[in-house]
Chains A and B, each alone.
Chain A
Amino acid sequence: MNVLHFVGAFFGDSAHWHGYDGIPTRLLEHLRYSLIALGVAAAVGLPAGLLTGHTGRGGNVLAFIATAARALPSFGLLVLMFILFGFGLVPVMIPLVVLAVPPILVTTYEAMRSVDPSPVDAARGMGMSEARILFQVELPVALPVVLGGLRTAAVQIVSTATIAAYVSLGGLGRYIMDGLYQHDYEKVVGGATLVAALALVTLALFWAAGRLTVSPGVRRRG
């Protein structure tokens, strides 16, 4: 009775491959929650981080918000939101977004702050607009670190999105929840394996995104 045995049994069972509780359905649900949460978190965290990083103003406020957000337990927040909003996507999304915004915000801010000031000075002296300086001078150099923040957020979201199952939604958390409830450890291990695999795929995607978008002139710094 080892874990590998459970994994083999879970994925070998053809019943797990179709239907509303099949792996493809649950995987897609999980992906959907994750992508929405990451999208919202990035929409909040990236502009705020880029702008504060570029101007150098608001860094303290930002650090305070990020620390406060980090102190909130995702599960507690889920329960609270469930009480407030009832069933649905919103009570799940709020804890996921709250979880993901701090790494995106703080990393983006730090990445922008650590950009060498002399090319920025040169760009300004050449008559580049502030927007161009942000997007064409600072961001390309800060990009590897910014992507790192997004990657951390994405992996946290993927593993934490399992909590959706607690409020009767789908996703890979279903296997873990149901498995625990039914004492079906094959299901628990199978679900956990899928979450871990998805997290690894996420890492790989970010690695590929980095290869594609980061200039070789910047990349050599690792």
Chain B
Amino acid sequence: MIRIDGVTKRYPDGTVAVDRLSLDIPDGAITVFVGPSGCGKTTTLRMINRMVEPSEGRILIDGEDSRRQPVNTLRRSMGYVIQNAGLFQHRTIVDNIATVPRLLGWSKEKARSRARELMERVGLDGSLAKRYPYQLSGGQQQRVGVARALAADPPVLLMDEPFSAVDPVVRKGLQDELLRIQAELGKTIVFVTHDIDEAVKLGTMVAVMRTGGRLAQYAPPAELLSDPADAFVEDFLGADRGIRRLSFFPSAELELLTGPVAAAGTGRTAARDTGDAPYLLVTDADGRPLGWAEPGLPTDGPVDPGRLLPCGRPFVAGQDSLRAALDCAVLSPTGWAVAVDGSGRVAGVVSQQAIGEAIRAAHAGGRSDGADTGASAKVAG
């Protein structure tokens, strides 16, 4: 565990970048520091590996003052990833990744084979090994940065806005990758970002900092969204925090109706059999959704897909969050969301109204269980 204990950083020009900060960073989890520009996130991160020395207070690593060990030994036990990756442009990708193992005295072959292993782990094709950094895209470079930080298998990973310089699609890929790596390796990750969505998505714990280097709130993301400590945090979370909070509620409790679902060619007609739903969801023989049939449209014989209303993107029952389910319903032309199972077969349909009731029930029950359902729900939301 990393304990930040009453730490203040005053730069020589008098700027107080961090002001009496105290918090515990749990092992094997992602702790995110988030806050507006200049609030002291980078300074805090860099005090952990002593790139910046605290003016007051101390930082304990597993109970021991971080100043007790030689600074380079400390740093080699912590992977460090920065915004623009900071790759060594004169070294090939594999040699960039092999840097810390080489520093630790590994042989060249051993370090390189370890580096290739890590390329695979972070989703980089082996054919890139012999390339130089300038021959890689920004997203690939960032992956190399992560692989390089992981190379010597340090228990701690420090990441300073590692994904902020890539486009949103690549960023989402990198975030998902980080969650996967974290799940596999169980590293203690300290992650700095100014993007609250990224913080909520990645963080097991989120520390919101305010200008002047003070801690505004330190909580799991679901709690942050449901109970912001003050107006600053609430403001920082943004206007749609209620919607975003739905990411933490699983869709498993939704009652799915199978009545208004029929495979094409079964002879049923929408008008007769849909029960509560005004529309009938038509599937193919495999049970995959084709579209909504309006009342009265016969469904015997081959269905002309052109006569069906599109069913839009379905959500995965049980796996996706209430947020995803609500999103599907909102986007659906019928106002009904389609739920599928893991293999894409229809599990049932659910109305906006039913989702709304589930949301109310979830809020009342406070079942925002970030730890269990959070990981998968957050990915979907």
Contacts and interface: CB of A to CB of B under 8 A. Distances in A.
A122 B75 contact: no
Contacts, number: 79
Contact of B132 (A125, A127, A217): A217
Interface string B51-86: 100000000000000000001111110101011111
B134 A217 contact: yes
A213 to B, nearest CB: 10
A127 B69 CA distance: 12
B272 interface: no
A215 B132 CA distance: 9
A214 B145 CA distance: 23
Nearest to B76: A127
B100 A121 contact: no
B137 to A, nearest CB: 16
Given A125-B75, A125-B80, A218 B89 contact: yes
Contacts of A141: 88-90
Interface string B243-257: 000000000000000
Contacts of B71: 127
A112 to B, nearest CB: 14
Contact of A217 (B84, B85, B91, B103): B91
Q: Is the interface on chain A under 10, 10 to 19, 20 to 34, or 35 or more residues?
A: 20 to 34
Interface residue range, chain B: 20 to 34
A163 to B, nearest CB: 39
Contact of B74 (A119, A121, A127, A218): A127
Contact of A126 (B46, B91, B92, B103): B103
B368 interface: no
Interface in B292-315: none
A125 to B, nearest CB: 3
Contacts of B99: 123, 126, 128
A35 to B, nearest CB: 28
Nearest to A130: B72
B72 A137 contact: no
Contacts of B189: none
B84 A129 contact: no
B239 to A, nearest CB: 35
B86 A122 contact: yes
A214 B91 CA distance: 11
A76 interface: no
A99 B359 CA distance: 80
A126 B84 contact: no
B103 A127 contact: yes
Contact of B100 (A120, A126, A137, A214): A126
Contacts of B87: 119, 122
A183 interface: no
B86 A119 contact: yes
Interface-central residue, B72, B89, B92, B133, by most chain A CB under 10 Å: B89
Interface string A86-111: 00000000000000000000000000
B206 interface: no
B158 interface: yes
Contacts of A222: none
A5 interface: no
Contact of B103 (A121, A122, A128, A140): A128
Nearest to A124: B51
Nearest to A120: B86
Nearest to B93: A217
B193 interface: no
Interface string A27-68: 000000000000000000000000000000000000000000
Nearest to A125: B80
Interface in B123-165: 132-134, 145, 148-149, 158
A118 B134 contact: no
A127 B84 contact: no
B255 to A, nearest CB: 52
A123 to B, nearest CB: 8
A23 to B, nearest CB: 41
A107 to B, nearest CB: 19
Interface string B88-106: 1111100000011001000
B158 A125 contact: yes
A127 B89 contact: no
A204 to B, nearest CB: 24
B72 A122 contact: no
A216 B75 contact: no
A132 B104 CA distance: 13
B208 to A, nearest CB: 25
A220 B133 CA distance: 11
Nearest to B51: A125
Interface of B: 46, 49, 51, 71-76, 78, 80, 82-92, 99-100, 103, 132-134, 145, 148-149, 158
Q: Which 7 A-B pairs have the closest CB atoms?
A: A217-B132, A127-B75, A122-B86, A125-B80, A215-B90, A118-B86, A127-B76
26 contacts: A118-B84, A118-B85, A119-B87, A120-B86, A121-B82, A122-B86, A122-B145, A123-B99, A125-B46, A125-B49, A125-B78, A125-B80, A126-B76, A126-B148, A127-B71, A127-B73, A127-B75, A128-B103, A140-B88, A215-B132, A216-B132, A217-B91, A217-B92, A217-B132, A217-B134, A218-B89
Given A116-B86, A122-B87, A126-B76, 9 more contacts: A122-B148, A126-B75, A126-B80, A126-B103, A127-B103, A128-B72, A215-B89, A217-B134, A220-B134
